Chain A
Amino acid sequence: MDFAIALGLIFGLAAVGAGIGNGLVVSRTIEGVARQPEARGGLMGLMFLGLGLVEAVPIIAVAIGFMLMGRLG
């Protein structure tokens, strides 16, 4: 029971962190594009990179959660 709660916390906190990070990245990008529309290409490339890197962390957290489930559960 405790183990299941710990796994849920791992997945949930990782998703919350990624959600906050994604929100920050997208809001800053949209702000930048609205201020300077000619820089749209570069900003969107940076947004793609930022979103990908932010989301790599929860994906790894999911993998670690499954690994712990296999080892300890």
Chain B
Amino acid sequence: MEQFSLSMRTIARYIFLLFSMVVVCWLFMPQRVFFQGLLLGIFVSMCNGFILYVKTVQAGEMALNPGRRMRSLGMLPRFLLAGFAVYVSFKMPHIFSFYGVVAGLPTVPVLTLLVTIYYHISTKKK
């Protein structure tokens, strides 16, 4: 469990670092609409990641205590959040770039994959 919390903390740190880098790019680069879309996509991805984290912890507790029951995996709120972000970018293309939102939505899974690969490579070397 500690390993899971540690890796989640690492992923959260990298996501906040990426978010701050995008904010800096938004400030200093001329493609403001794209970066606004990217910020929206990353924010929604962070929300989705948090819901997924809570549900994963609940599933782990349920596996240890079979008496407890889990109602859902939270798939519907995550899909609705992502769909809402895409819909907003579709309806307001002058504020949020569609491609930016689509690029920002899979941020958490891609970062998780990269961190996991890096962790496995670094532990194999030792």
Contacts and interface: CB of A to CB of B under 8 A. Distances in A.
A49 B112 contact: yes
Nearest to B110: A56
B2 A41 contact: yes
B26 interface: no
Contacts of A59: 79, 82, 105-106
Main SS at interface, chain B: helix
A52 B83 CA distance: 16
A22 B75 contact: yes
Contacts, number: 105
A69 to B, nearest CB: 8
Given A52-B112, A66-B90, 8 more contacts: A30-B59, A42-B3, A42-B4, A43-B60, A49-B116, A55-B109, A59-B106, A60-B102
Interface of A: 15, 18-19, 22, 26, 29-30, 33-34, 37, 40-49, 51-53, 55-56, 58-60, 62-63, 66-67, 69-70
Contacts of B86: 62-63, 66
Interface in B90-126: 90, 98, 101-102, 105-106, 108-110, 112-113, 116
Contact of A55 (B5, B59, B78, B116): B78
Contacts of B116: 45-46, 49
